[in-house]
Amino acid sequence: MEWTHGPPYDYYATTECKAHPEAPLYNGGILVDRTGKIPMTYYKMETGVYSPAFVLYNLTATTRYSFSCWVKTEGTYSTLLKARLSTESSTSCIGTALASSDCWSFLKGGFVLDSPSQTSIIYFQNVDVNNPIEISVTSPSLQPFSVEQWKTQQEENIRTKRKRAVTVHVSDSQGNHIVGASVTAQQLSKDFPFGSAIAKTILGNAAYQAWFSKRFNAAVFENELKWYTTEPDKGKLNYTLADELLGFVRANQIVARGHNIFWEDPKYTPSWVQNLTGEELRAAVKSRIDSLLTRYKGEFVHWDVSNEMLHFDFYEQRLGYNATLDFFATAQNSDPLATLFMNDFNVIETCDDVNSTVDSYASRLKELKEGGAILEGVGLEGHFSKPNIPLMRAVLDKLATLKLPIWLTEIDISNYFDQQTQAIHLEEVLREGFSHPSMNGIMLWTAIHPYGCYQMCLTDGNFRNLPAGDVVDNLLQEWETKQAGGATDERGYPNSKFFGLLCFISTLDDGVCILDVEKPERLKVAKIKHASIAILTMLIFYFEKEGRSSMSFRVELGRDGMINLYKQMVINIVRRETFKRIVRRSKRVLELGSGYGLAGLSIAGSSDAHIQRNISVNAGAFGNTKVKSMTLHWNEEPAADILNSFDVIVASDCTFFKEFHESLARIVKSLLKYSEGSEAIFLSPRRGDSLDKFLEKIMEASLQYELVEKYDSQVWNLHQHFLKGQHETSSNWNRNDRKTCWLSLYNRLYIKSRQLLVW
């Protein structure tokens, strides 16, 4: 990427206090004078205290200014410092840092001016104005970026972080490159979670439902999960609205955030709860968690546990400082696979709110984790007035150092602005959020009501777009790949980059190969290290062409990490409608590693520590998906926290040992959810009468099944040649063909809820 008139943006940040300051970003930027030095002066504030300061001349409007420095205090252990910009017309906060006397803290922020300023000054202020302290500043930097440069950086991030290169090699069965084969990619779904709040107003409203499901793949319930809705009176639980909203998101394959378990603001605490104290309150909050998370175990990808805890402390005032830790621990036990979030406002919107600066957020999060909380998500509400985009980026830079998923959870623009201005500011926020490397999802706070929306609507009452709605639609269209591709070159490689989940179609065959390209440099499955072939196999699915025999590619993993797809007749593995169910987001999936073959001894014989190492090595490939390992013995009862909790179970080669058949059937039945949509898929060869005996145990367990055995005639003939010992003389049989045929002669065991369907 070429940059004009200056360096690219530097995403460096840290929330650690260091013994020594580091060099200034951009070598100081425009703070450096003609002598190569950075002149610093002192500014006398209204309190009479002098602060280090930097005088700036001829700042321009619309330019994005990124400011950073290292700060330290004297005479006090820790305090919050603000960097402030004073121009001829206004004074504003442009960055914060939690500073100490024994180490150096990194302050990063920025600003945009509405109008030019001939003379401005940056100075530093202790938020505790009654406690004057000496402030030391070093390694300052101020770097300007034009609107075009800023946008170029965003587009480069989108190109490199949101798109991924996929290399598909097309060759014949002899390994010869195919030149001129047409390979295209069609987007099947959006990978990046982008959604909005919904409310009870969407229920029974077909137009609203169609409008929403066409655009969004994520949702959050505005108020329907909050305590004052689900239990307005003590002991009178009512989950009707939440259940109905959950039915809508399920039916449309939309992931949902759980918002929220508790809200620390007493104004939004049920009135009957406000009168409780001591053990009564403790019992009530435990009942709230148990009831909510037991009912919706596995249904929500996130839970906001203690909403807006930086601003309010209703429960900690009454139950003690460890109350929030207890909330997280209880929530983790109730739904072990849910990702638990902090969620608060005025973190990215401004740095004037001393309760929720980026350093306050990071400090509280670290404090909870050090106390034992399983806290794995950063939620930033994002209720903006006029956004300060350089400050927003700087805050995200610092929060990214926590190495946790970051979501914008409640984005809107104040209705102080007219609709057109709202749209302009919304586009600024969405582009900045989507392009930031640390961002994992974006939610708008635009649920529609008869009176309108909380602050900003995307449409009118008839679902005609308002200016903000046009912005969303245009960005969604810009951020997707409808179809792309090209012909293979002399080496058999077509190359392109795409968003999301892609469907590859080659004119060389009649089949379709599905590849998830969420995170790879070439192909996702090629980047998995130290993993069994079973994991590779589970990421590749073949479809049956309606009314025709299926042909597709044989898959091999090359030494260079490339996936080679060879033209080859193969058996159908997963039906089209089954695949759509499997790849649906917000699903809890269990892979059983057992037996030998595909799922192999490499899994069954590995220690849990070894598997956990594989998970850690590949953490970057999982995105928002939470992956854990556990040890499960077929002859023992599963732990209570995983009973009836999985939507999908996948396994292969696990029906050989007859002594485990009864236990395996019982385990599968006990682990699948009661819901109609839960299912299990087994890859299961007959291997003597072992499969038939297993099916008998399935029926004894009150499960039903369907056995599908369908082999391509060419593959079956090759198999018969192999059994007759004719493979050595057959010109159509080579070593690779044997592997493919052996893999193709698998039945598919398909278990559905309280039924068992066998393929």
Whether the Cβ atoms of residue 423 and residue 468 lie closer than 8 Å to each other: yes
Per DSSP, the residues of 552-566 read EEEEEE-TTSPEEEE
Strands 551-557 and 302-307: unpaired
Per DSSP, the residues of 114-126 read SS-EEEEEEEEEE
The question of whether 521 is a catalytic residue gets the answer no
Residue that is written with structure tokens 């490689």 in the block: 493
Inter-CA distances, 532 with 601, 684, 738, Å: 9, 17, 20
∠505-507-510 over CA atoms, to 5°? Answer: 75
Whether the Cβ atoms of residue 117 and residue 56 lie closer than 8 Å to each other: yes
End-to-end CA, the chain: 50
Q: What's at 480, amino acid-wise?
A: E
**Ramachandran area for residue 255 (φ above 0: left; ψ -120 to 50: alpha; else beta):** beta
Q: What's at 615, amino acid-wise?
A: I
Helix (H, G, I), strand (E, B) or coil at 77: coil
The question of whether 46 is a catalytic residue gets the answer no
Element (H, E) at 105: strand 105-111
Q: What's at 274, amino acid-wise?
A: Q
Which residues on neighbouring strands pair with residue 339, listed in sequence order? 302
Residue that is written with structure tokens 């400090």 in the block: 363
3-state secondary structure labels for all residues of 694-742:
HHHHHHHCCCCCCCECCCCHHHHHHHHHHHCCCCCCCCCCCHHHHHHHH
Interatomic CA distance for residues 618 and 145, integer angstroms: 36
Among 129, 75, 123, smallest CA distance to 99 is for 75
Which of 224, 231, 349, 410 is catalytic? The answer is: 410
Phi and psi (nearest 5°) for 568? -165, 140
Interatomic CA distance for residues 693 and 244, integer angstroms: 42
Which residues on neighbouring strands pair with residue 82, listed in sequence order? 96, 125
3-state secondary structure labels for all residues of 128-142:
CCCCCCEEEEEEEEE
Which of 308, 349, 427, 679 is catalytic? The answer is: 308
Inter-CA distances, 523 with 257, 317, 540, 564, 567, Å: 29, 51, 11, 11, 19
Residues with a catalytic annotation lie at 308, 410
